């Protein structure tokens, strides 16, 4: 039997991980949902990541890659940190699957502006998919805090799809990720 090249080994590992993401999130919700972060966002919106915080979608540790981390707070004060914007968007679209909560319970989304790294409101950010930027789960979905940065970003990194949070639905998710979302649970 031939040995796989290192690049093929990485590709197989990535594909297996991506295939298991929906199973992990669904299993967490079946057990009552994921464990919220140890610490909430700071008063100025900074993420206060702990080593034990896990992304509720893929189970990665956001503290290991803080430059790509994103956050969601619920109206009850619970905070969840994500490894990247893609996992945050999956939870936005399927909070009953990944968090065990309806979307009406989501209070705040915080993402990092690509250029400055500062926290920005995910609801007002300009999002870009299909660029050459790679995140912890593969091709990254980028957030820009200021729409005037879009031309600069696209000239440096490309970008096939530009959108706002209110445009995110199942069809857009499938277009930008090439993956289906798990079925929604009854809210």
Instruction: For residue range 111-163, list pLDDT tens digits in order.
Output: 999 999 999 999 999 999 999 999 988 999 999 999 999 999 999 999 999 99
Tokens at residue 70, please?
Answer: 């994103």
Pairing of the two strands 126-131 and 158-163: antiparallel
Q: Is the alpha carbon torsion for 85, 86, 91, 97 positive or negative?
A: negative
Are residues 78 and 39 in contact, defined by beta-carbon separation less than 8 angstroms?
A: no
pLDDT tier at 21 (50, 70, 90 boundaries)?
very low
Three-state secondary structure call for residue 82: strand
| Residue 163 dihedral angles phi and psi, to the nearest 5° | -155, 170
Q: Comparing C-alpha atoms, which of 35, 51, 49 is closest to residue 98?
A: 35
Q: What is the pTM of this model?
A: 0.82
**Is 104 buried (19+), middle (13-18) or exposed (0-12) by CB count in 10 A?**
exposed
């Amino acid at each position: 039997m031939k040995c796989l090249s290192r690049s093929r080994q990485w590709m197989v590992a990535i594909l297996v991980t991506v295939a298991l993401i929906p199973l992990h999130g669904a299993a967490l919700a079946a057990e009552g949902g994921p464990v919220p972060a140890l610490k909430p966002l700071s008063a100025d919106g900074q993420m206060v990541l702990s080593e034990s915080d896990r992304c509720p979608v893929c189970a990665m540790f956001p503290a290991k890659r803080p430059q790509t981390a994103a956050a969601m707070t619920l109206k009850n004060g619970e905070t969840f940190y994500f490894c990247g914007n893609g996992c945050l968007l999956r939870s936005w679209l399927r909070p009953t699957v990944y968090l065990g909560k309806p979307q009406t319970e989501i209070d705040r989304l915080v993402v990092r502006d690509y250029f400055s790294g500062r926290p920005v409101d995910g609801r007002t950010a300009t999002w870009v998919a299909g660029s050459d930027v790679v995140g912890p789960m593969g091709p990254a979905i980028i957030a820009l805090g200021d729409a005037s940065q879009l031309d600069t970003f696209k000239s440096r990194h490309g970008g096939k799809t530009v959108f706002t949070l209110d445009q995110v639905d199942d069809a857009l998710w499938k277009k930008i990720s090439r993956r289906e979302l798990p079925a929604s649970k009854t809210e």
